[in-house]
Amino acid sequence: MIYQRFMLLALVVLLSITYDANAAVAFPWGCTDYKGVCRRFCLPAEFPFAIFKCGGAGFICCLSHI
């Protein structure tokens, strides 16, 4: 039970730190590290991954399902 409370506390702290922060600052890796492509809309064969924000407003990281 103590382990579960600790993990919940760690998650809350992480979310509070990254709440209004830039995603590039919160996460040192980016879309290109996972061979993703920044687009306005993902293709049907791609998975939109919203954690990795791309440069411009309205762009999202699209990862291949393969």
Task: Determine the Cα–Cα distance for residues 51 and 30; give it in Å rounded to an integer.
Answer: 9
Q: What secondary structure does DSSP assign to 14-52, as a single string?
A: HHHHSSSS-HHHH-S--GGGGT-EEESS--TTEEEEEEE
Does the pLDDT at position 62 exceed 50? yes
Looking at per-residue confidence, does 27 or 45 come out higher?
45
pLDDT tier at 13 (50, 70, 90 boundaries)? confident
Percent with pLDDT over 90 in the chain: 0
Could you tell me the sign of the dihedral formed by the alpha carbons of 51, 54, 56, 62, in that order?
negative
Does the pLDDT at position 8 exceed 80? yes
Q: What is the pLDDT of residue 18?
A: 61
Flag the least confident range among 2-6, 8-12, 13-17: 13-17
Check: CB of residue 61 under 8 Å from CB of residue 33.
no
